Amino acid sequence: MTTPNLIQKAAALIRDSQNITVLTGAGVSRESGIPTFRDALDGLWARFNPQELATASAFMANPKLVWDFYEYRRDIMRDKSPNAGHFALAELQRRYPSLVVITQNIDELHEQGGSTGVIHLHGRIAGNKCFYNCQGDPTMVDVSLLSWDKENGPPACPHCGRWVRPDVVWFGEMLPPAALNAAAEALQVSELMLVIGTSGLVMPAADMPMVIKRRGGKAIEINPDDTPISDIADIKLSGPSGEILPRIVEALDEA
Ligand code: BV8
């Protein structure tokens, strides 16, 4: 449980910072009802390890299985709404317009909660593209315009007839250069990073708090559990982000 004076300390760090970066993971969407990436999958997906499904080799080996895995997750995400944590981050950005949200999440709840300029390191599940980017990287495909037999898995690219895939970054794939460059630019000038709802296991995102620390900056972690980032955080706020972030915003108004 996070004590009030830790919240006050976090608020003081925020007040003293000019360029704040925020790195979020699946935990920030947990209170919206979206299971985290490493939450146990349920139903017919319970026997799968998401990390093994989120790869190009798994998709090439069994395009229907991987396509259906993302359709399952899209169905879960479809009717979910931002939670108090997303709204609090948007309020923070209104007060500190130079604040940059860097997310590992493939949902768009930050945008729906009012955050702007969100950097998606791992893509967005709502988008699809040609697996071969046949018209250039990325060759986005609007599958709502296509009709295909869903029993066969992914639709065919309307340009080249080969597979369409979700517009997310799979393990072993490079992150989108534009997102990586935008994140690097933000990290270069940031004195403070809020690290929220990530297990800190996936590179290169998980190294970003260290980039800030190596430059003499500070890190605040918000997570009910301990992670590799907890060891380097200047302040560790243990608890759900949907509860802690609004308390931090409130504390900004106190003396
Ligand atoms: C790359 C999109 C260069 C898909 C994701 C061997 C071969 C190839 C690569 C590697 C290798 N060894 C290492 C690598 C690099 C690899 C990597 O880091 N692997 C790790 C696992 C060892 N990284 C990559 O491959 C990256 N690319 O490095 O390119 C390269 C290229 C070729 C070869 C080498 C290098 C690409 C990584 C992107 C993978 N795609 N997502 C999809 O979602 O299906 S990553 C996936 O994990 C998630 O989507 C998410 O983005 C990411 C991190 O997960 P979290 O967001 O942290 O979620 P998690 O469930 O883990 O944790 C949730 C946390 O929330 C927990 O701590 C929990 O306590 C907390 N929480 C719970 N409730 C709350 C809460 N917090 C706050 N409030 C709450 N209420």
> Which CATH number is 141's domain given?
3.30.1600.10
**107 and 154 share a domain?**
no
pLDDT of residue 122: 98
Query: Distance, CA 207 to ligand 1 centroid (Å)?
Result: 11
Residues 197 and 240 in one domain: yes
Atom of ligand 1 nearest to the CA of 222: 77
How many domains does the chain divide into? Answer: 2
Q: Determine which residue's CA is closest to atom 61 belonging to ligand 1.
A: 199
Residues with catalytic annotation?
122
Protein residue closest via CA to atom 8 of ligand 1: 172
Question: C-alpha distances in angstroms, 65 versus 59, 62, 88, 140, 214?
Answer: 7, 5, 37, 21, 42
Q: How far is the CA of 25 from the centre of ligand 1 (A)?
A: 9
N-terminal to C-terminal alpha carbon distance within the chain: 23
Same domain flag for 139 and 233 = no
> Domain containing 237: what range?
1-34+80-122+175-255
Look-up: residue for tokens 């000019």? 18
| CATH number (domain holding residue 190) | 3.40.50.1220
Q: What parts of the chain have a pLDDT lower than 50? A: none
- Can you give the pTM of this predicted structure? 0.96
**Span from the CA of 36 to the centroid of ligand 1 (angstroms):** 11
pLDDT of residue 41: 81
Asked if 107 and 30 sit in the same domain, the reply is yes
pLDDT at residue 45 in the model:
81
pLDDT, residue 2, reads: 64
Q: Name which residue sits closest to atom 72 of ligand 1, judged by CA.
A: 27
